[in-house]
Amino acid sequence: MIVMQPDRVILKNQVSKFAKELSGSVLDLGGGNGERYKHFFQTIISLDINPENHPDIVGSAEDVPLENGVMDSILCTQLLEHVPHPLKVFSEMFRLLKPGGKAFLTVPQWNELHEEPHDYFRYTNFGMRQMSEDAGFTVLKMEQRGGYYSLRTQVAIRFLIDKYHPYQNYFAMLIIAPISTILTKFAIMRDKWDTSDANRKHAIGWAVLLEKPM
């Protein structure tokens, strides 16, 4: 059993959708051992700062131990909130990519505090565009993750997870798992129905596709 969350469901769908935009050798920044999204790519190299995660490369996304222009593509999902100097990560991505190379990023606009004390930032679409362009990238696509209903449901489910710890409490899981599944599916469906500006002002996060100019 799992506790279903709108953020996780939509995030996985976005990575699946945008994976086809990334070709060649893909560097997964902050990707642990690289297994999470490995099935989307032919060649993926994982970088993580924690050696216990068994990445291909141990290192910081702010200072990647690779030469200039060696990567065809970069994947960076849910990492930028955890680095103290995110502009350095943008500069590193630009440096590492070959001309015409693409980077796909996902970031939270809302999240509960997690991985404390290394939880520093939240991002809007406007902030992501500004940082991307300041680093020299062209923004090809910007896609919102969730609306009002998904956000409200995500907050509620995360509260239940943090309060009752269902992955350590079997009886809590028996109750929370089916409820979370129903709420998540209904929230995502309601966001698809409601195309109003009021709904779109609320986001769980953003997915961004960037390109390094030729």
Average pLDDT over residues 182-190: 98
Confidence of residue 57 (pLDDT cuts 50, 70, 90): very high
Select the more confidently predicted residue: 39 or 149: 149
Over 90: is that where the pLDDT of 34 sits?
Answer: no
Q: H helices then E strands: how many in the chain?
A: 6, 7
Q: Do residues 147 and 191 lie in contact, with contact meaning Cβ atoms separated by under 8 Å?
A: yes
**What is the rounded distance in angstroms from the CA atom of residue 125 to the CA atom of residue 127?**
5
3-state secondary structure of 116: coil
Question: How much is the pTM?
Answer: 0.95
Confidence of residue 66 (pLDDT cuts 50, 70, 90): very high
Residue 63 DSSP label: B
Over 90: is that where the pLDDT of 42 sits?
Answer: no
Average pLDDT over residues 93-115: 98
Over 90: is that where the pLDDT of 56 sits?
Answer: yes
Over 90: is that where the pLDDT of 68 sits?
Answer: yes
Average pLDDT over residues 89-98: 98
- Identify each DSSP E strand in 67-123 by its residue range: 71-77, 97-108
List the CATH code of the domain at 6-146+202-211.
Answer: 3.40.50.150
**Count of CB atoms situated within 10 Å of the CB of 58:** 15
Over 90: is that where the pLDDT of 48 sits?
Answer: yes
Over 90: is that where the pLDDT of 35 sits?
Answer: no
Average pLDDT over residues 101-115: 97
Average pLDDT over residues 25-32: 95
Average pLDDT over residues 121-131: 98
- Identify each DSSP E strand in the chain by its residue range: 25-29, 43-48, 57-58, 71-77, 97-108, 138-145, 205-211
